[in-house]
Amino acid sequence: MRWFCLALLLVSWFLVPRPAQACAVCSQSSPTLTGAGGEKAYDGRLRASVDGRAGSARTGSGAGLVQLDDRRLELALAYAPTPDFLAAVVVPGLYRSMRSQKASGGEAVLGDVDARTSYRLWSSDDRQRQLHLVSGLKFPTAPIQSDREGRPLSAELQPGCGSLVPYVGVDYTSTIRMWTLSSGGAVFVPVPVREGPHPGYSARARAAAQVQPIRYLAARAGVSARFDATGELAPGQNDPNSGGLVGYATAGLLVSPTSDLVVSLEAFFPVLQSLRGDHRELTIFGAGVAYDFR
């Protein structure tokens, strides 16, 4: 409830009238709407966003089956000091409820704080085609969670990585009239800094098409995939229910009621699951609000 009230307060703040400024769409020389986390740099850009997601995952089988329902709210602030470089800090709060044959319960925790950057490597003269270098570092601010018997949960069910996680990737976008095509990928390499479960390295890729028939409305669809190496429950002890490949079909809707405000809805449907051990991921739903102050 506290996370919901904070999100409501932020949304209310976004909607308070302010002196007119150049709109974000005009400043970035592109009519394409971008939701939380998808912003591109222009000189002096300052954007705040609230992004919520809800999903579930299962590990184990029989008496050892555990289902985790995860509700995540991410508060983000992004700033571009130059036309080509953008930096952002993302602070996630989670409410996680766990169900098993032995016990059930819920807990609110802090997730792993993420500091990320995006640098424009290349763009066409009209900036309708752009290539970005994306990098960042996740910090181990989430706690290590255990079951009622004191045993740490699987690495796949932890609220964080228990590691410093540097990552690097690329992102490409191309806008042709009302269509925008995007693709990208990144590699995450966890460096364990404390005892407990932690994931293995991860490679992620995505591709999407977005159509925007009018200024304030866009729809998009795409695919995304994630490959994870096997994680560990403890040093030298592999987690049998971690790692493998999962692929999603994605769909989303973006609405911009005013020039600097974007509201987004999205869903991720698992269509390919080749995960190791007894591990299954379910559909993820998301909603976000992003506002440009400059």
Residue 198 belongs to some domain of the structure: yes
* Separation of alpha carbons 192 and 161, rounded Å: 8
Residue 29 belongs to some domain of the structure: no
Q: What is the CATH number of the domain that holds 269?
A: 2.40.160.40
CA angle 159, 67, 228 (to 5 degrees): 55
Residues of the chain with pLDDT under 70: 1-31, 63, 101-103
CA angle 289, 48, 141 (to 5 degrees): 100
Query: What pLDDT score does 106 carry?
Result: 85
Residue 25 belongs to some domain of the structure: no
| Cα 168 from chain centroid (whole Å) | 15
* Separation of alpha carbons 198 and 202, rounded Å: 12
Query: What pLDDT score does 159 carry?
Result: 94
Query: What pLDDT score does 13 carry?
Result: 45
Which residue segment(s) compose the domain that 113 sits in? 2-15+41-292
Residue 160 belongs to some domain of the structure: yes
Residue 32 belongs to some domain of the structure: no
Query: What pLDDT score does 55 carry?
Result: 95
Query: What pLDDT score does 28 carry?
Result: 56
Is residue 23 within 8 A of residue 261, CB to CB? The reply is no
* Separation of alpha carbons 52 and 204, rounded Å: 21
Residue 152 belongs to some domain of the structure: yes
Residue 45 belongs to some domain of the structure: yes
* Separation of alpha carbons 128 and 125, rounded Å: 8
Residue 21 belongs to some domain of the structure: no
Domain total of the chain:
1
